[in-house]
């Protein structure tokens, strides 16, 4: 026997994670995406401020009178397409992209076990979700405060229900909206990662997510398919505006988060199963 082989057989997880995060966040496309997404609240804020006095009762017109509504509005706008695409792009690069590059082979040969690989990649995708949401939120808050200032007399947030809440409580609500958005994006990312684990073509992942979002949109517009609506991830996405109501209704936020959790479990499970037998 040449063995027994001694010594550690796994690289420290923290080291692997740090290496992965550095790789994800240093990638030029991630940085460009971050900048572009950060522009959304800025441009929205400028646009609304330039439009002048609030007309109608939409969420965005509410922005005109209240700086802290801007980050929530920007998150809501970005969640429809831009944020899911950013996360899908990260998931596409995570497994399909690395496989297409041949770099996945290097990781498996190191070796990084396949289940750890999925875990590390999932955290990398989550990191993109967190940073993009943070960029939108922070730029939203800053832009809102600069352009509009805290609303009127009481320095707080004018809710959709017409009441006012204090600035501390308003910031908490914006933070809640951000966390809720990350949870929704985690669901998108997990499903995208599952697709990514099954293909060598990053574009397939993007196409699947884009197609899925549009497909969900179409299905939710067809009343005859209303029995399907509770299954759709996008069904609960209007709940983000609940953070702007007073008192804040929690059912929509909770049920949409639970639904996202189901998608996360499903996606990660599929990604684990597929990666276990993947040829690299």
Partner 1 sequence: MTELAIRVRDLRKVFGATVAVRGVDLDVPAGAVMGLLGPNGSGKTTLIRLLLALSRPTAGTVELLGAPVPAAAGKVLPHVGALVEGPAFHPFLSGRDNLRRCAAAEPLLASRAIPEAVDRALIRVGLADAAERRYRAYSLGMKQRLGLAAVLLTRRRLVVLDEPTNGLDPAGTQEVRRIIAELHADGATVLVSSHLLAEVESTCTHVAVLDRGSLIAAGSLAVLLDGEAPALDVRTPDSVTAVDALRVAGLSAAATSDGVRVELAGTEAPAVVSMLVGAGVAVHEVRRRRTGLDELFAQLTEGDGR
Q: How far is the CB of 208 from partner 1 (least distance, A)?
A: 24
56 binds partner 1 (CB under 8 A): no
19 binds partner 1 (CB under 8 A): yes
125 binds partner 1 (CB under 8 A): no
Q: How far is the CB of 94 from partner 1 (least distance, A)?
A: 13
Site string for partner 1, 216-245 (x = CB under 8 A): ------------------------------
11 binds partner 1 (CB under 8 A): yes
113 binds partner 1 (CB under 8 A): yes
Between residues 109 and 224, which has the closer beta carbon with respect to partner 1? 109
Pick the stretch among 25-33, 48-56, 128-136, 150-158 that binds partner 1 (CB under 8 A). Answer: 25-33
Interface residue with partner 1 among 2, 50, 55, 57 (CB under 8 A) is: 2
101 binds partner 1 (CB under 8 A): yes
How many residues touch partner 1 under the rule CB under 8 A: the total is 34
Separation CA 182–CA 2 (nearest Å) = 50
Interface residue with partner 1 among 86, 112, 157, 187 (CB under 8 A) is: 112
162 binds partner 1 (CB under 8 A): no
Query: Could you list the residues that contact partner 1 (CB under 8 A)?
Result: 1-3, 5, 7-12, 15-16, 18-19, 22-23, 26-28, 101-103, 105-113, 277, 279-280
């Amino acid at each position: 026997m040449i063995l027994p082989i001694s010594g550690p057989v796994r690289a420290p997880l923290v080291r692997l994670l740090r290496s992965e995060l550095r790789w994800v966040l240093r990638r030029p496309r991630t940085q460009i995406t971050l900048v572009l997404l950060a522009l959304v609240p800025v441009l929205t804020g400028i646009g609304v401020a330039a439009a002048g006095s609030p007309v109608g009762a939409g969420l965005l017109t509410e922005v005109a009178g209240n700086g802290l509504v801007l980050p929530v509005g920007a998150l809501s706008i970005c969640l429809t397409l831009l944020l899911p695409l950013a996360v899908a792009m990260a998931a596409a690069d995570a497994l399909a992209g690395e496989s297409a590059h041949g770099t996945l082979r290097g990781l498996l040969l190191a070796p990084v076990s396949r289940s750890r690989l999925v875990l590390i990649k999932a955290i990398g995708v989550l990191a993109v979700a967190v940073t993009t949401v943070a960029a939108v939120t922070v730029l939203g808050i800053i832009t809102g405060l600069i352009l509009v200032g805290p609303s009127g007399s009481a320095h707080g947030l004018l809710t959709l229900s017409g009441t006012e809440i204090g600035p501390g409580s308003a910031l908490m609500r914006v933070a809640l909206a951000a966390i809720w958005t990350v949870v929704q994006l985690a669901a998108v990312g997990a499903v995208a990662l599952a697709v990514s684990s099954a293909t060598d073509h990053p574009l397939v992942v993007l196409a699947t997510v884009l197609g899925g979002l549009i497909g969900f949109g179409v299905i939710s517009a067809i009343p005859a398919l209303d029995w399907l609506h509770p299954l759709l991830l996008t069904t609960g996405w209007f709940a983000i505006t609940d953070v702007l109501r007073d008192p804040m209704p929690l059912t929509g936020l909770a049920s949409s988060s639970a639904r996202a959790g189901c998608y996360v479990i499903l996606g990660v499970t599929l990604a684990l199963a597929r990666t276990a037998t993947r040829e690299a």
